[in-house]
Amino acid sequence: MKIIAGNWKMNGSRSGLAAMQKSLGEIDTENRVVLCVPFTMIDGAGGPAAIGAQDVSCHDHGAFTGEVSASMLADAGAKYVIVGHSECRMYHGDTNETVHAKAEMALSVGITPIICVGETMQERDAGKTLEIIESGVRESAPNDGGDVIVAYEPRWAIGAGITPTEEDIADAHKLIADILDSMGRGGTPILYGASVKGANAAQIMSIPHVDGVLVGGASLKPDDFIPIIMATK
C-alpha cells in the first residue's frame, strides 16, 4: 500500500473535484489516495479520495485576516493538510519553526500534517542537500502528538519536469527515515514529490523508504493521476 497524494495548488473547481472522485471510484486500488485542494473545495464532493488542505494557520483563532485554522479545516472535513510546501516557504515566508507550529495545530484536531522538506537549487549547488533535509525534518516535525507524513520535495525539481537520480532520492529518504527513527517516529510514511508522472511513478515508488508520492501538476486530471495510482497497486 502506497500513499498517493495530489496537490491541486490554486487550480480546479468543485465540479472538477466531483468528476475526479467519480473517476477514482471506478478504479481498483489498495493505495491510499488523498487530494489536497483549495479551501473552497474541502467540503465538496465525497468519494474514495480523502480530502486535505494545502496550508493551515499556526494560530488557533482570532484577528488573522485571510487565515484558516486547523479546527476550521477539521470542521469542513479535511483529514490531511500540507505544511511547509516549497511555495508557502517561498511566497508566504514559512520557516521550519512556523511549519512545526502548523503541524502541531493540525495534530491537535486529528488532522494528519504532510510536512514538506527539501533543498533549493542554490542549496543543492552548495552541497547542502542533506543538511537542509536534516534540519527540515528535525525542526518541522513535532516530537509527539499523533501520526505525521513527511514529503521530500527537492524544490528545484517541483514543476520542472526533472527529478533527482534514483540514488539521490534513495539517500534522502534513508536519511529522513533514520532521523524520524531517532525522533521516536520510526515507520512514518515518507513521500517523494516533484515532477512525478505516470511514466516515472513505478520506478520512484520502488526506491527503498519511498512510501508514496506527492503529485502536483499530474494530479489535476484523472487521465494523468490514475496512471500514477495504478503504477503500484
Provide the binding-site residues for ligand PEP, judged by CB under 6 A: 7, 153, 158-159, 193-196, 214-218
- How many C-beta atoms lie closer than 10 Å to residue 27's C-beta? 14
Q: How many residues does the chain have?
A: 233
CB burial of residue 198 (10 Å; 0-12, 13-18, 19+) = middle
Catalytic residues: 85, 153
The nearer residue to ligand PEP, 10 or 63, going by C-beta atoms, is: 10
Q: How far is the CB of 184 from ligand PEP (least distance, A)?
A: 27
Residue at grid coordinates 542537500: 129
Give the residue closest to ligand PEP by C-beta: 216
Q: How far is the CB of 25 from ligand PEP (least distance, A)?
A: 23
Q: How far is the CB of 40 from ligand PEP (least distance, A)?
A: 19
Q: How many helices (H) and strands (E) does the chain have?
A: 9, 8
Is residue 79 within 8 Å of 113, Cβ to Cβ? no
Q: How far is the CB of 12 from ligand PEP (least distance, A)?
A: 14
The nearer residue to ligand PEP, 109 or 158, going by C-beta atoms, is: 158
The nearer residue to ligand PEP, 217 or 222, going by C-beta atoms, is: 217
Show Cβ contacts of residue 174 under 8 Å, excluding neighbours closer than 6 positions: 208, 209
> In Å, how far from its chain's centre is CA 175?
18
Angle between helices 129-140 and 96-108 (to 10 degrees): 40
Instruction: Classify 60 as helix, strand or coil.
Output: coil
The nearer residue to ligand PEP, 44 or 84, going by C-beta atoms, is: 84
